[in-house]
Amino acid sequence: MTTPDTQRPRPGSDILRTALRRNVGAMAWGTFLMGLYQAGETAFPIALGLIVEHALRERSPGALALSIASLAVIITTVSLSWRFGMRVLQKANTTEAHRWRVRVAECGLQPVARDVDLKSGEILTIATEDADQTADIIEVVPLLISSLVAVLVAAVALSLADIRLGLLVIVGTVAILSTLSVLSGRIGAGTQEQQARVARAGAKVADLIIGLRPLHGFGGNQAAFRSYRKVSTEAKHQAITVAKVNGVYAGTALALNAVLAAAVTLTAGWLAFGGRITIGELVMAVGLAQFIMEPLKLFSEMPKYVMIARASAERMALVLTAPPVTTPGPRRPAAGADLEIDRVRHGSLRRIELRVSAGEFVAIAAYQPRAAADLASILAVNVPPHEYEGVVRVGGQELADLSIEAVREHLLVNPYDGEIFAGTLRTNIDPSGTSRSVPEAVEASMLTDVVALHREGLDYAVRDRGANLSGGQRQRLSLARALAADTDILVLHDPTTAVDAVTEQLIARNVAKLRRGRTTVVITSSPALLDAADRVLVLDEGVITVEDTHRRLLATDEAYCAAVAR
């Protein structure tokens, strides 16, 4: 059964509603405590006014002591309510941000590609900054309500002294919020564009880091840097624009709040001078005019934070609401089944047909690299079934009818450019920590020399993207990971292009031995791997043109000999 969080995701406004609904308990408790804090803050000048009135009337030490004790109670209430209220809200905020980070990361890492025009660097920004800013709504709403409580308490207290003072606070607050709501809309739009440009700059950095070595190789690093600088400059200009609007917003809010406070003070002075309010009420009014500045400032800033949270939620919705490219089926393939490609047409492939029996080791010699890449993409389910003609079957069942998780457990396609992660050799070979064939995989991939070279062995630290390993070592590490997975069907795409001929020969023998009885397909032009296979299928111009053993093809097919002989 699908839970609300795993159903078709929602736009930005729905994301905010979901965040609020999930934290209604924490927000209610936080709102109560923060309302108590604001009420206590506002009660302080009210208490001062009452103390002045009482002291002028009673003029006794006991009355003064009681007044001081009352102030102590108010101060203690203000301190504790703020402390525990913010603790509740910030815990809920950070927990909600964590939930959305995980949700965005889950969508960004889905094995079925999603139709999102975002690079990985942009998704990273959405999963961090935007998730945090969206979760800020958990704090914004209680603070908004508690600030409103403070304003209402002040208005009621001033109304008891003179109705004109209370009306002045209410009318002034409405006027301030009406003025600032216009600016908050501009902030939301500008913030969304700023976040998009910063995310694009982050994506550009990620691309540069990935391609740093080849860029240095052909001298393109300066051009790439200029490209990044242009994107970053655009982000900077947008950030400056948003900062200007923020500055205008903050300055306007402060000025309007100060004008309202001054108006309340002057009106109270005028009323006191005319004898319409007492000295104690004047003290209370002047104190409230000062204390009300903080809740008014907080109250006037909240619309801005709401717009920022909404802009971030809309950014997250770009990932969360993107429809899947394909809808996985519910079935699971039978263990140890065969692999069949039936008249598939896609890209450079033209009605390709082949069948690999369960337990067979088959090599595919693709004369055109593009055809090899297209075939690997289809088997890896990077291309959804509805985007190509023909059918791919695993264990007699069509790929479209299988759940993507079942396909991943049963059929593993190891790309020629397999990613290497920061960690250790062991965590790269066995990320889940559940493989029982790590030693065999290390030996078969000829990674033993790398393990033996370092005192830490398999616990040798690997830098991000394998920066402290050679190209051949990275490729063998990727191959070891594929072999350690021990899947029923394993597809290797050019697994030995970065190793020497002797090592390649040993790897070919080891892989054939380790995978005996397991279905294995190798897309390669390596003579060693082709010779180790049970049979070779030649993929030329998008179709299978011939099949035989490697040695027979060498003896009878000149084109094959020219393509694979070294």
pLDDT of residue 194: 55
C-beta neighbour count of 282 within 10 angstroms = 19
Structure tokens at 58: 């009673």
Tokens 């600030």 label which residue? 147
Query: Is residue 483 within 8 Å of residue 518, measured between CB atoms?
Result: no
Strands 349-356 and 411-414: unpaired
- CATH, range 12-320: 1.20.1560.10
Radius of gyration for the chain, computed over Cα atoms and rounded to the nearest angstrom: 34
pLDDT of residue 198: 58
pLDDT of residue 3: 42
How does DSSP assign 88-106, residue by residue?
A: HHHHHHHHHHHHHHHHHHH
* pTM (global) more than 0.95: no
SS3 percent helix, strand, coil of the chain, rounded to 5, is 65, 10, 20
- The full set of domain ranges for the chain reads 12-320, 339-564
pLDDT of residue 534: 95
Residue 534 is classified by DSSP as S
pLDDT of residue 214: 46
One-letter amino acid of 161: A
β-strand partners of 37:
none
Residue 324 is classified by DSSP as B
- Convert 242-255 into a string of H (helix), E (strand) and C (coil): HHHHHHHHHHHHHH
Assign a CATH topology to domain 339-564: Rossmann fold (3.40.50)
Please give the average pLDDT of every successive group of 10 residues along the chain, which has 566 residues: 43 87 92 86 74 64 71 85 92 92 78 53 72 88 84 82 85 78 61 57 53 45 61 68 71 80 84 80 76 72 77 82 65 78 93 92 94 92 86 87 81 85 91 90 93 91 85 92 93 92 94 93 94 95 94 92 82
